[in-house]
Amino acid sequence: MRILTVGAGYVGGITMAVMAKHNKEHDFVVVDIDHQRIKDWNSDTLPIYEPGLDDIVKACDNLTFSTDVRGEIGKADIIFISVDTPTKMSGLGAGQACDTSKVEAVARQINKFASGHTIVVEKTTVPVGTCEILNEILEDTDNKSFSLLSNPEFLSEGVAIADLEVPDRVLIGGARPEALTRRPRWPRSTSVGCPSIAS
Ligand SMILES: NC(=O)c1ccc[n+]([C@@H]2O[C@H](COP(=O)([O-])OP(=O)(O)OC[C@H]3O[C@@H](n4cnc5c(N)ncnc54)[C@H](O)[C@@H]3O)[C@@H](O)[C@H]2O)c1
């Protein structure tokens, strides 16, 4: 499988690095619109300091960092949305509510450039109900279809690697059992069996 995260920040970069370390048979790609950030991930001085991160990134030849957001969306089997959700600065909820416009913008890009069946995962911290907005954006057609999962991240800066290696909780939710049971690709017209979901 080709697994993509959109957003090469604290969450996107580190979670993909740890997943790549433990899943050598899969390819992991991290994309970002911030060219400098991607350049830093590809350099000897990573944009983030986290104990143990340098060694993991150097050792993983199944992990790449790129600015080709559109191209990578088109090739991915699973896409994690890991962009930032700043506090709203204007309008309803200004100064308090979370601004999900970047998450929605990424979902629109996924809807446009994805191919075949794509599992889309909300990794970013978003308000309850955001999946309903994303499900409206991600439209199934004859050529493409989507399964939306929610898998919020609970890592803490400074101990992020340990939090990912031995998490004290993992939440995964979604409406389609096929996606929850890790089936990568299937034609839209095929009926997929639904084995019991592992914990
Ligand atoms: N940092 C933490 O410790 C932590 C822990 C748990 C959860 N979270 C949550 O995870 C989410 C991400 O946090 P973070 O700290 O990684 O954020 P971050 O600001 O470090 O990184 C976000 C990245 O997304 C990129 N981005 C924004 N829009 C984009 C687009 N349209 N296409 C491609 N890239 C785009 C930005 O350029 C940036 O590099 C937030 O919702 C945050 O609340 C963060």
Hey, which of 80, 83, 163 would you mutate to test ligand 1's pocket, going by the most ligand atoms within 8 Å of its Cβ?
Answer: 83
CA–CA dist 90, 137 (Å, integer): 23
Nearest residue CA, atom 15 of ligand 1? Answer: 10
User: Each residue's pLDDT tens digit in the chain (199 positions)?
Assistant: 999 999 999 999 999 999 999 999 999 999 999 999 999 999 999 999 999 999 999 999 999 999 999 999 999 999 999 999 999 888 888 888 889 999 999 999 999 999 999 999 999 999 989 999 999 999 989 899 999 999 999 999 999 999 999 999 999 999 888 778 765 444 433 333 333 333 3
C-alpha dihedral (82, 86, 87, 88), degrees to nearest 10: -100
Domains contained in the chain, CATH given: 2-180 (3.40.50.720)
CA 69 to ligand 1 center in whole angstroms: 15
Query: How many angstroms separate the CA atoms of 87 and 93, rounded?
Result: 9
pTM: 0.91
Q: Which of 6, 10, 66 most suits a substitution to test ligand 1, by most atoms within 8 Å of the C-beta?
A: 10
Distance (angstroms) between ligand 1 centre and the Cα of 125 equals 9
CA–centroid distance, 136 to ligand 1, in Å, is: 22
